[in-house]
Amino acid sequence: MPANQQTALLYGGAAAVRLLLFTAFPSLPNLLAGRVEVSTPVTSFKRLQEGLFLYTHNVSPYDGGVYHQAPLLLPLFSLLPNPSSHPFATNVVFTLVDLLSAYVLSQIAESGQSTVTRLFKSSRKDLRWSSLAVAAGFLFNPFTITTCIARSTSALTNLFILAAIAKACQGASLTFLLSLSFASYLTMHPLLLFPPLLILLYDALAQRSKSAPSPLAFTAFHILGLAVVIGALLSASAALTGSWDFLAATYGVRLLLPDLTPNVGLWWYFFTEMFDAFREFFLGVFWLHVASYMPGLTIRLRKQPLFVAATLTGIFAIFTPYPSIADAALYLSLVPLFRHLFPLMRYTFLALATILYATFLGPAFYHLWIYAGSGNANFFYAITLVWSLGLSIIVGDSLYAALRDELDVERPELRGKEVKRI
């Protein structure tokens, strides 16, 4: 089968699966939109509908205290027909978002930055999956499909993050800045991806043009660019809603965690148990913890910036305040880019089995807690711990594999030898 035909088949199939699920089970989107594993307070489609209702009735969408998403989503979604009566257009939009994400993901795979960067060439660089296979891994990942069916706005964030990575790989400064600004504007924490992606962009540009631009000017220019774009987005939002209140309702909620609805992350339970006096302190500690991975990884794995960015999305899926399976879907679809590291990973089966177990036990325990009343919050929290453990194993194991891969290049004589950390 020619490649074009395969691509068409893949994208057509993925779109068909989604539209089929949307139409064959009309109650499925609402069911999934109500699941805590899929929709968090900051990504839920139901809350978006509430915000839309207020917005179209000329009330500030943040007045109800329900809507915590970016203001610019409102005019976008108000263009679509009402999703509760005519859901088809919305469904098509979310399907398209997924297809686009898969497309930019395949661009990342095609760039080859996962195995060969400017400063590093993996000795296993021939071991890789085709961009089509990587895209298929994203499109047919059950977590991605679930996110799409639930119409969670994380799908949009994922698209922008992937686009930012893809544009950085291609060395397209402007689109990179735009995508990353949109991602950061929507969910804030993608801002942490800026340093590794900036390095990636720099490497890509330097590789292409032979004469590397001055690092200092390059950094200053891009920081300025990012600030300008984000500033423009924020000003547009303020103009749209008529005040700066949206800052507290969106980024404030993400930062300060006032909504303790359960999710698959580690924060909610901890903060329900917390005495108020310690709240601010631990908020600081938790955020510091999330942010601290970025400099460490960026410095240590300076030669593989794409790997740093991918690992950071994994960190986000575990340690941010409102993670959902959409974040895990993003990370799990970036991992196949590093196919060459798989032989070095030691716990793949364990990690995948853990994630699978958590996927099934999570809803079971949530049912016991909320519906049957025979369990309690600890049941669900225990499973979110297992889920995070599974993801952390992948993150840690792939980090080990990446370091080992670097070592194999630096010290070929050590190849195949057991190494010890000292």
Question: Where do contacts with other proteins occur on this chain (CB under 8 A)?
Answer: 123, 127, 343-344, 349, 353, 356-357, 360-361, 364-365, 367-368, 371-375, 379, 409-410, 412-413, 415-418
- Give the nearest distance from C-beta 123 to other proteins in angstroms: 7
CB of 413 to other proteins, least distance (A): 4
Residues 6+ apart with CB under 8 A from 237: 70, 71, 72, 246
Dist. CA 315–CA 110, nearest whole Å: 24
Considering the complex, state which of residue 188 and residue 368 has its C-beta at the smaller distance from other proteins.
368
* Pairwise CA distance, residues 271 & 304, whole Å: 36
Token pair for 127:
């071991």
Choose between 175 and 367: whose C-beta lies nearer to other proteins: 367
Contacts by 316-320, CB closer than 8 A, 24 or more apart: 316/189, 316/190, 316/192, 316/290, 317/391, 318/265, 318/266, 318/388, 318/391, 318/392, 318/395, 319/265, 319/266, 319/286, 319/289, 319/290, 319/293, 320/189, 320/265, 320/290
φ/ψ (deg, to 5) at 359: -60, -35
Nearer to other proteins, 64 or 375 (CB): 375
The smaller minimum CB distance to other proteins, of residues 282 and 347, is found at 347
Q: How far apart are CA 60 and CA 177, in angstroms?
A: 29
CA distances from residue 91 to 70, 162, 246, 251, 290 in whole angstroms, order as listed: 20, 21, 27, 27, 33
Compute the least distance from the CB of residue 226 to other proteins, in Å.
37
The count of C-alpha atoms lying within 13 angstroms of the C-alpha of 345, restricted to the half-sphere facing its C-beta, is: 21
Closest CB to other proteins among residues 276, 418: 418
- State the nearest-atom distance from the C-beta of 219 to other proteins, in Å: 29
CB of 418 to other proteins, least distance (A): 5
Taking the least distance from each CB to other proteins, the nearer of 127 and 403 is 127
Closest distance between other proteins and the C-beta of residue 160, in Å? 30
- What is the distance between the alpha carbons of residues 96 and 27, in angstroms, rounded to a whole number? 21
Cβ distance to other proteins smaller for residue 38 or 257: 38
Shorter beta-carbon distance to other proteins: residue 240 or 368: 368
Q: How far is the CB of 412 from other proteins (least distance, A)?
A: 4
Label residue 261 left, alpha or beta by phi (over 0 means left) and psi (-120 to 50 means alpha): beta
Distance CA 322, CA 154 (A): 11
Pick the closer one to other proteins by CB: 96 or 419: 419
Nearest distance in Å: CB 139, other proteins: 15
Closest by CA to 253, choosing from 7, 67, 24, 57, is 67
Between 68 and 339, whose beta carbon lies closer to other proteins?
A: 339
Selection from 194, 223, 210 nearest residue 309 by Cα:
194
With vertex at residue 344, the alpha carbon angle to CA 338 and CA 350, rounded to the nearest 5 degrees, is 90
Residue 2 Cα distances to 5, 8, 9, 11, 112, angstroms: 5, 10, 11, 15, 21
Q: List, in order, residues 6 or more apart from 373 with CB less than 8 Å away.
A: none
Q: Least distance (Å) from other proteins to the CB of residue 348?
A: 9
CB of 33 to other proteins, least distance (A): 19
When the beta carbons of 238 and 344 are compared against other proteins, the nearer one is 344
CB of 357: closest distance to other proteins in angstroms?
5
The rounded distance, in Å, linking the Cα atoms of 168 and 171 is 5
